[in-house]
Amino acid sequence: MRYAEQNDASKQATAFLLVVLLHFGIVYALVTGLGRQAIEVIRGPIETRIIDDIKAPPP
């Protein structure tokens, strides 16, 4: 059997477990409101001004 063709079940299981834990962490953060806090920080106050249109001089 060639080295490249060998299946390493422990590496596959570790990668699968890592992906599952990552997904659980993201779902937990969204459910507990951490996602809302991040959006509030990013959104913040916005300053606006009304800009008057500049009239073109008559021809």
Residue 29 burial (C-beta neighbours within 10 Å; 0-12, 13-18, 19+): middle
Residue 52 domain flag: no
Q: Is residue 4 part of a domain?
A: no
Question: Domain for residue 37, yes or no?
Answer: yes
Whether 30 is covered by a domain: the verdict is: yes
Q: Tell me the C-alpha distance between 18 and 15, whole Å.
A: 5
Those residues whose C-beta lies under 8 Å from the C-beta of residue 10, and which sit 6 or more positions away, are: none
Residue 33 in any domain: the answer is yes
Is 1 among the domain residues? no
Q: pLDDT of 4-45, one tens digit each?
A: 666 778 889 999 999 999 999 989 888 887 767 767 777 767
State which residues form the domain around 27.
9-43
Q: What is the pLDDT of residue 56?
A: 82
Residue 29 contacts residue 35 (beta carbons within 8 Å): yes
Q: Which residues contact 39 (CB under 8 A, 6 or more apart)?
A: none
- pLDDT for residue 1: 53
* Domain count along the chain: 1
